[in-house]
Structure 1
């Protein structure tokens, strides 16, 4: 089964609470999502490999460390994942971006792909899939399957909020993909929304609720 990491940092938990509040404005919600994504990105990338390099400071030559290998790829699931990707790019501005367009069929709740665009050499890079909500897990499973079909072998999944159902489904479908989340809520309602959740993350980010 996938490894699940709950990011329990007080700043993350505080910002998530503000996002849950139904009275939070679109502007504030968008800013909070960006800020929280930056904080979670710090946790997700803490084990990136490093190389030793020789540099010269203004004072003397020294040996220092920098991230090894090819640059990361962030893969937001459209459209809600864009808000998180912006925050992660604030921390890693040199990262590449792959876009995975999916919508949820209202009847079956299954994910339907409508767009996919990724760096040509994505197969050789670590890819962090980003979506604010992990509810049923169908979108995450579809996005990761699509990326694996493109040759990606080093994948991680990041969300703000998850339900145990989504974690179980994603872990069963892709047991090799670790998961990071700020919280796990107990259940889904009949429409596949996380309860208590925070509503539709896309609508609240872009003001279409």
Structure 2
């Protein structure tokens, strides 16, 4: 993997337990636990990303004196693509609790051949000029959705930095992001090598939106 790609499960930690439970077909039946494990992994990646952000030394006054503390120089903006990414996004805003958020509605338009295009319906965001944007989505499969969304945002705003975070990414998806957004930093809890013909990651975890919120009608 490129040096600007961080893979969480390369190092053993409690995060591996949360990831294993997300993948487990039996544990997945508990929607609350499925959402909660995504939230936990979002918190862990938020912490890891926070190490790369700029800080400013500040004086904090306690009842007994003054402590010098490094605090974030500027809050990032946390974005996600509805609906599957909402629990993962919650983990990020639990840690970046002063950050603004952006939300994207996008969908695949599938042709009879099985090929598909990405349609962005709406982007609701605060001002992003000069901001650090963290785009988080549960699954980074082909990478086409996130690349389309990020390019749309970058056409309107000059971002300070862009981070893409996923619970599970595919090797192909990371390569697509790298080819189209070469300066982005990619963060994933795990990377799988295979995808089905319908662009589901294998072994992956299934349909994250349906598992978190119920099957679509």
Instruction: Say if 1:2 and 1:115 are closer, same or farther in 2 by CA, change over 3 A.
Output: farther
Q: Match for residue 184 of structure 1? A: 191
SS in structure 2 at match of 1:191: coil
2:91 aligned with 1:79: no
Deviation, structure 1 residue 106: 2.7
CA distance in 2, matches of 1:41, 1:33: 12
Of Structure 1 and Structure 2, the greater strand share is in 2
Deviation, structure 1 residue 135: 0.6
- Residues 67-94 of structure 1 show CA distances to partners (whole Å, capped at 9, x for unaligned) of 113x210010111111111111111111
Verify the 8 A CA contact 2:34 2:212 in the aligned structure 1.
Answer: yes
Aligned residues between the structures: 207
CA distance in 2, matches of 1:30, 1:50: 31
Verify the 8 A CA contact 1:164 1:184 in the aligned structure 2.
Answer: yes
Note the 1:57-206 alignment, pairs <5 A.
57-69=62-74, 71-107=75-111, 108-119=115-126, 121-153=127-159, 154-206=161-213
Instruction: Say if 1:81 and 1:152 are closer, same or farther in 2 by CA, change over 3 A.
Output: farther
User: What is the RMSD of the two structures over their aligned residues, measured on CA atoms?
Assistant: 1.5
- Residues 113-159 of structure 1 show CA distances to partners (whole Å, capped at 9, x for unaligned) of 0111110x211210000101011111111111112112142110000
Unaligned regions of 5+ residues in structure 2, if any?
Answer: none
Q: Which shifted more, 31-40 or 2-11?
A: 2-11
TM-score, normalised to structure 2, is 0.90
Unaligned regions of 5+ residues in structure 1, if any?
Answer: none
Compare relative contact order (CA 8 Å, sep 6+) and give the higher one, 1 or 2.
1
Instruction: Say if 1:113 and 1:157 are closer, same or farther in 2 by CA, change over 3 A.
Output: same
2:18 aligned with 1:11: no
